[in-house]
Chain A
Amino acid sequence: MDRPLPVIDDINRDCWEGARNNRLVIYRCGECRYWIHPPLEACPQCQSERVAGEEVSGKGAVYSWSVMYSKGNPGFDHKLPYATVIVELPEQEHLFTIGNIDCDPKDIEIGMPLEVTFEKINDEVTLPQWRPATGAAR
Chain B
Amino acid sequence: MSHPFRDRTAIVGVGHSPCSKTPTISPYLNTVRTLKQAIADAGLEPSDIDGVCALATGGEPSPLDMVQALGLPGVTWYGGGLGGGVGPGLVANAAMAVASGLCTTAIAYRTMAVPRPGDGTYNFFGPAKLGGAANFIQPYGHGVFMQYFAAWYQRKRKVFGVTDEQMGAYVTAMRDNATRNPHAVLGKPMTMDEYLACPYVAEPLRRFDCDMPVDVSGAVIVTTAERARDLRQKPVYISSVSTGTGPRPHMAFWHDYDQSAAHFAAKTIWKNAGMGPEDMDFGMIYDGFAPLVLYNLEEYGFVPKGEAGRFLGDGGHLRDGAFPLNPHGGNNSEGRSHAIGHMVEATQQLRGQAGARQLKKANTTFVNGGAIMLAGAVVLHN
Contacts and interface: CB of A to CB of B under 8 A. Distances in A.
Nearest to A83: B203
Given A66-B151, A72-B124, A98 B137 contact: yes
Nearest to B252: A98
A118 interface: no
A117 interface: no
Contact of B152 (A38, A64, A72, A105): A64
B143 A73 contact: yes
A70 B146 CA distance: 10
Interface string B133-153: 111111111111011001111
A58 to B, nearest CB: 16
Contact of A98 (B131, B136, B152, B205): B136
Nearest to A15: B136
A6 B135 contact: yes
Contacts of B271: none
B12 to A, nearest CB: 42
Given A4-B126, A38-B135, A70 B155 contact: no
Contacts of A4: 126, 129-130, 134, 138-139, 143
Interface size bucket, B side?
Answer: 35 or more
Contacts of B158: 64, 109-110
Nearest to A7: B130
A44 B246 CA distance: 13
A84 to B, nearest CB: 4
A28 to B, nearest CB: 16
B124 to A, nearest CB: 5
Interface residues on A, range: 35 or more
Contacts of A18: none
Contacts of B121: 72
A121 B138 CA distance: 14
B154 A73 contact: no
Interface string B40-82: 0000000000000000000000000000000000000000000
A98 B250 CA distance: 13
B142 A84 contact: yes
Given A3-B141, A86-B252, A99-B140, A65 B154 contact: yes
Contact of B151 (A86, A97, A125): A86
A3 B144 CA distance: 13
Interface string A73-105: 111100101101010000000101111100001
A26 to B, nearest CB: 10
B141 A100 contact: yes
Contacts of B152: 64
B58 to A, nearest CB: 17
A70 B144 contact: yes
5 contacts: A4-B143, A6-B135, A6-B139, A68-B147, A86-B151
Interface of B: 121, 123-124, 126, 129-144, 146-147, 150-155, 158-159, 199-205, 247, 250, 252-253, 255-257
Given A67-B150, A84-B147, 20 more contacts: A5-B130, A6-B135, A6-B139, A38-B133, A64-B155, A64-B158, A66-B147, A66-B150, A66-B203, A67-B200, A67-B203, A68-B147, A69-B200, A74-B126, A74-B138, A84-B151, A98-B137, A98-B142, A110-B155, A110-B159
